[in-house]
Amino acid sequence: MGGLREKQKADRERRILEAAVRRFRAEGYRSVRIEDLAETAEVSVGTVYNYYQSKADILIATVAMEVEEVLEAGAVTVKDPPRGVDEAILSLIFQYYDHSLEYLSKEMWRTAMALAIDKPQTPNGRRYTRLDQRLAAQVTELIAALQARGEVQTALEAEPLGGLIFNNLNQMFIEFVKDETMTLDTLRKRVIAQTRPLAQLISTEHAA
């Protein structure tokens, strides 16, 4: 265990990913060539392909790190959500959205999402899909938490609802990254319009 070879491998993989994060952010995904990454990471082009299946694959690895962070931040909110069904749901969604552009450009999101759809069988394509599922699960968790607190009708199943809400926020996020001119504020307003009526319908107050 822990021979020289293993250390070198880990180090090379890390260097490639670091190079990717840095240069993709600075110069944009498209304009950075594999050769550039190889140069920054001080390996050859061929070596890049020993660690990652494709250029887009590298991008997904960087996006995945970002989503992991979002999931962690979301877990805190789910543990103790704000009062009010729509407040709680929207605050989680906005947390996702606000985080999304901190380290990744719209172009990077577009590329990563496109790959996840286009090449779902690659390791990182799968990885992206799993991350989406975990995000959906987190929304479901929130619904369940609100049910436990008596704010959402317990007659409703949390999972379909969580899935519905996630699918909606995800699709709206796609529309957001597709349009370079759309602001986060516009996105928020749109998701409010879509989500709030549903929040009303499922809340216990509405039933009463």
Answer for which of 18, 25, 34, 99 binds DNA (CB under 7 A) is 34
From DNA, its own copies, none, interface partner of 19 (C-beta below 5 to 8 A by class): none
4 binds DNA (CB under 7 A): yes
Residue 152 backbone dihedrals phi, psi, to 5 degrees: -115, 140
Angstrom distance (rounded) from CA 34 to CA 54: 9
Assign 34 to helix, strand or coil. helix
Residue 109 structure tokens: 């999101």
179 binds its own copies (CB under 8 A): yes
Question: What x/- string results for residues 150 through 169 when contact with its own copies is judged by CB under 8 A?
Answer: ------xx--xx-xx--xx-
The footprint of DNA on residues 71-100 (CB under 7 A) is none
| Distances in whole angstroms, Cα of residue 200 to Cα of each of 46, 83, 153, 159, 196 | 55, 13, 11, 17, 6
Residues at the site binding its own copies, with contacts judged by CB under 8 A:
110-111, 113-118, 120, 129, 156-157, 160-161, 163-164, 167-168, 170-172, 174, 177-179, 193-194, 196-198, 201-202
